């Protein structure tokens, strides 16, 4: 298998403890061997990990790597977003993943932003072309969308508001990705749409994540994983084969790169990248 040396990137979440920070530093160093285009760091619902995201991003920068903080706008004001983003600019960050974000439990009022396209427009108005703005894409549609058409319209709106590229939610059906890209192109939108890849290591965890984000686990895949029961080694071995083959098919079909959801662990992701030729 060969990657054709197309860009890859890796996503982390902000560690909450010193032990977690040390583990993340080790993970980052292990993944650096693949020359990623950038490392991204997530941002909790309602900005609950704001300081942790900034610390993680600055740590990545200090280690000499490109970093892209996530920024969710739901529940935020324009002033609060402006302050956060100005901090990133002051530290020389030039890449942001702009998201609506999930609505935190118990939140009263959605803040001054309702949709990600409003955040993208705000960032462009306030900071011009300083930032490369990445947005989310949903090949299997956002779980809260009214319809497939509404979801596609929302994506197009984000791009027209000023997004430079997109990263997808993870998926296990390559055809869903290719169909999504074709539909976007048919609407006159042509930006890089990078597939988000989720390693398979723990079925119950994967099922929980998928239920929350709306990612479909195809019936045959679900039954195959269920048949392995608690045989962790078999699940991991199968998962490595499957995700590697999926990644290779996506790259062979023209995907502009790959973005890996690492869950702050390097093992499975490293194996997949090595198999792909990175």
What are the pLDDT digits (tens) for 178-210?
Answer: 999 999 999 999 999 999 999 999 999 999 999
pTM equals 0.93
Q: Which residue has the higher pLDDT, 62 or 44?
A: 62
Report the alpha-carbon distance of residue 46 to residue 111 in Å, rounded. 10
As given in the structure block, the two tokens for residue 82 are: 């402006």
Q: What is the pLDDT of residue 84?
A: 92
Q: How confident is the model at residue 50 (pLDDT cuts 50, 70, 90)?
A: confident
Bridge partners of 40?
11, 68
As given in the structure block, the two tokens for residue 39 are: 């490392």
Q: What is the pLDDT of residue 74?
A: 82
Per-residue pLDDT at 45 exceeds 60? no
Report the alpha-carbon distance of residue 262 to residue 239 in Å, rounded. 14
Helix extents (H) in 147-266: 148-161, 174-186, 203-213, 219-227, 232-252
Q: Which residue has the higher pLDDT, 261 or 80?
A: 261
Residues in the chain: 278
Q: Is residue 11 flagged as an active site residue?
A: yes
Q: What is the number of other CB atoms lying within 10 angstroms of the CB of residue 101? A: 24
Q: What is the number of other CB atoms lying within 10 angstroms of the CB of residue 12? A: 23
| DSSP code for 143 | T
Digit-coded pLDDT (tens) for 110-148: 678 888 999 999 999 999 999 999 999 999 977 777 788
Per-residue pLDDT at 80 exceeds 60? yes
Which is catalytic among the residues 11, 118, 134, 140? 11
Q: What is the pLDDT of residue 154?
A: 92
């Amino acid at each position: 298998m060969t990657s054709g040396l197309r860009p890859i990137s890796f996503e982390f979440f902000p560690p909450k403890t010193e032990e977690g920070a040390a583990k993340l530093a080790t993970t980052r160093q292990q993944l650096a061997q693949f020359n990623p285009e950038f490392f991204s760091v997530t941002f909790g619902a309602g900005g609950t990990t704001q300081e942790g995201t900034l610390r993680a991003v600055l740590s990545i920068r200090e280690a000499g790597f490109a970093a892209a903080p996530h920024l969710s706008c739901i529940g935020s004001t324009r002033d609060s977003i402006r302050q956060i983003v100005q901090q990133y600019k002051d530290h020389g960050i030039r890449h942001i993943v702009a998201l609506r974000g999930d609505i935190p439990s118990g939140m009263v009022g959605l803040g001054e932003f309702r949709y990600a396209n409003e955040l993208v427009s705000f960032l462009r108005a306030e900071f011009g072309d300083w930032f490369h703005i990445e947005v989310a894409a949903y090949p299997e549609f956002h779980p809260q969308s009214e319809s497939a058409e509404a979801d596609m319209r929302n994506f197009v709106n984000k791009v027209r508001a000023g997004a430079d590229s997109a990263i997808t939610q993870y998926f296990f059906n390559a055809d869903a990705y290719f169909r999504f890209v074709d539909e976007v192109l048919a609407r006159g939108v042509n930006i890089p749409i990078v597939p988000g890849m989720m390693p398979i290591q723990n079925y119950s965890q994967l099922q929980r994540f998928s239920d929350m984000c709306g990612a479909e686990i195809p019936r045959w895949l679900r039954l195959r994983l269920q048949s392995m029961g608690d045989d962790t080694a078999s699940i991991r071995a199968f998962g490595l084969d499957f995700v590697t083959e999926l990644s290779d098919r996506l790259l062979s079909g023209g995907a502009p790169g790959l973005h890996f959801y690492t869950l702050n662990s390097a093992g499975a992701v490293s194996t997949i990248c090595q198999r792909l030729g990175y």
